Amino acid sequence: MLAFVALVFLVIGLIHFYLYKRLLRDPLRPGRAQQVGAVVATGLGLLLPATLIGTRTGHLEWLAWPGYLWLALMFYLLVVLILLEIPRAAVLLSWRTASRTKEVARNKTDGSQSVTESDISETGLLESPDPLAEAANDDDGVARRLVLARGMAIFAGLTAAGITGYGMKTALGGPQLDRVSIPLAKLPRGMDQTRLAVVSDIHLGPLTGTRHAGRIVDLINSVQADIVCVVGDLVDGSVAELGRFAAPLADIESRYGAFFVTGNHEYYSGFEPWLEEVTRLGMRPLRNERLEINGLDLAGVNDLGGAQHGDAPDFGKALGDRDTSRPVVLMAHQPAAAHQAAPYGVDLQVSGHTHGGQMAPFNLLVKLEQPVVSGYGKVDGVPVYVTNGAGFWGPPVRVGAPPQVTVVELRTA
């Protein structure tokens, strides 16, 4: 554990040193401004672990807004600057090439000789390992280097700030409603067009406020769902801290009821009190169990992360020994649960957890852990639908993955 914490601190430190170098040290001449920039970079580097630790433990929650916004801005500064490294290197190489060519030409002119490609090669034109050092040999080189560094810093800053601002507006603007129709071969005709309102990752917490759950409930109620599936990560805090934020969930309306399964964040927040609270609010937790609704089985399993807290998923208990002539819809927080559900002939799994990646291009990394990041896919033959989630975790920023409540309409084949 200590080794992991040390690694996290090392990575944070290296990222902030890189940002300091590209955004402050390179664009500024040596002096007081660089020294102030170093202090600022150090402070921002310390802000991140303080925010992550403080919000998890319930202390220093006032750091949430500045800390998480800096996390998002830092991420996009890093992405933009890395993308700019290739054109930066190309410009520096072209300057070095032009400078060496002029030097060779001047030397040859002094000796009344013509310049050839072999002359340029012999002078070491393409052999200098440090173009910045070459450019700094004269005042013109220093000036050009400063212009390039300042242009790069300004472009990266404006781009990252614009993306972060857009993502913040998207994340805080409320979820959109998406609809998808999925056929189930064994679905009884009487259950054709059954509407499942699937919502996940509401993440009630210090940044969401009291309106967050209310507008999600209003959106769910607007579709007149037959079944409401809340597939985990409802909260980021204790019942004592966030119970009042969850109160609007008592107003969820549906024909056959609202059902809940745990996500990994429930285990960080005290899952047992929250199970009692969601029950009090009118939702039924499905704890490795299933029930039959007019010829359709609805099953739910505890989150995969529950195993570390003595509350592991039990797919055999939830799905074994059932009437296989009936279709079964499985509520499981993580799409990866489909690997363990596959032997039981699950007809559809509804999940969340991924946030659709939340901040592109982070979705590319999520793909390394989860078999489906957003929307419909198949995992070991199991049809899986993954909703983006209605809230956010950490930074109140969403880019490329807007918050979402999904209506899954079940159709007879």
The string of pLDDT tens digits covering residues 148-187 is 999 999 999 999 999 999 999 999 998 999 999 999 999 9
Q: Can you name the CATH fold of 177-412?
A: Purple Acid Phosphatase; chain A, domain 2 (3.60.21)
Query: What whole-number distance in Å separates Cα of residue 31 and Cα of residue 41?
Result: 16
Q: 376 - beta bridge partners?
A: 385
Instruction: Give the number of other CB atoms < 10 A from CB of residue 258.
Output: 23
Specify the pLDDT at position 100: 85
Specify the pLDDT at position 60: 63
* Domain ranges for the chain: 2-170, 177-412
Residue with tokens 């990560």: 233
Q: Is 235 helix (H, G, I), strand (E, B) or coil?
A: strand
Q: Is 376 helix (H, G, I), strand (E, B) or coil?
A: strand
Residue with tokens 């901040």: 359
* Residue numbers of the chain with a pLDDT score lower than 70: 1, 57-60, 110-139
Selection from 201, 217, 212 nearest residue 266 by Cα: 201
pLDDT digits (tens, 9 = 90+) for 286-335: 999 999 999 999 999 999 999 999 999 999 999 999 999 999 999 999 99
Specify the pLDDT at position 120: 46
Query: What whole-number distance in Å separates Cα of residue 282 and Cα of residue 161?
Result: 42
Specify the pLDDT at position 136: 43
Separation of CA 366 from chain center: 8
Q: Using only the alpha carbons of the chain, give its radius of gyration.
A: 28
Specify the pLDDT at position 58: 63
Selection from 50, 67, 69, 40 nearest residue 9 by Cα: 50
Crossing angle, helix 2-20 and helix 32-57, to 10 degrees? 150
Question: H helices of 24-63, where?
Answer: 32-57
Specify the pLDDT at position 393: 94
Specify the pLDDT at position 322: 93
Q: Which distant-in-sequence residues (6+ apart) come within 8 Å of 53 by Cβ?
A: 60
Specify the pLDDT at position 250: 96
Specify the pLDDT at position 174: 87
Question: H helices of 238-285, where?
Answer: 239-246, 264-269, 271-280
